[in-house]
Amino acid sequence: MPNIALVCGSFHREFIEQMLDYARQEATKHELDVLEVVWVPGAMEIPLAIDRLLANEEIDGVACLGIIEKGQTQHGLAMGQAVIKSIIELQLVHEKPVGLGIIGPGAEPEHIEPRVEPHARAAVAAISSMLRCHGQGVSMSESKFQKLRENPVFRSFVAFSIFRAFYGVGILAVTYFLSTSAEAPWYVS
């Protein structure tokens, strides 16, 4: 069973605890094991927590749950864009899915409650979808290609093949220069 982790922003803790319950239910529905739950102060700390969790070989994906309200300035919007950009980059660096369950940026107070359940469930469902898409039900960290790449015999074969390719190119280059040279010995032409 693939293992996931959940990162929760502490602001609006009452709503985030509800989101956590929905995320756990969705994980059970998709046969994902919630290995770890990490609480962080706010949305700005979510990317660092995600990075640390994705570096763990036991974790196949992470869902983040949080709320970024609309403020009187553009601070929330700028922060939300920076956080989301960082999360996308972490997915690409670690090659593991991250489900985005952040309500906002720019959420008005009346927008929060109706979005708690759908955002939490969608974040976990996205991880499940990406894991199944990539490995047909096998976690990304256990993919056949990755196991093959880690096999010492396969690695030796690849190294030998690369050596043979360069050796062959070298032989061709020497043969070409010898055969096109005007001063080549009679046995080369």
Active site members:
75
Alpha-carbon distance of 67 to 109, in angstroms, equals: 10
The distance of Cα 54 from the centroid of its chain, to the nearest Å, equals 7
SS3 assignment, position 41? coil
DSSP code, position 100: E
Residues 6+ apart with CB under 8 A from 73: none
Largest CA distance in the chain: 91
Rounded distance between C-alpha atoms, residue 102 and residue 46, angstroms: 10
Of the candidates 86, 88, 97, 4, the one whose C-alpha atom is nearest the C-alpha of residue 43 is 86
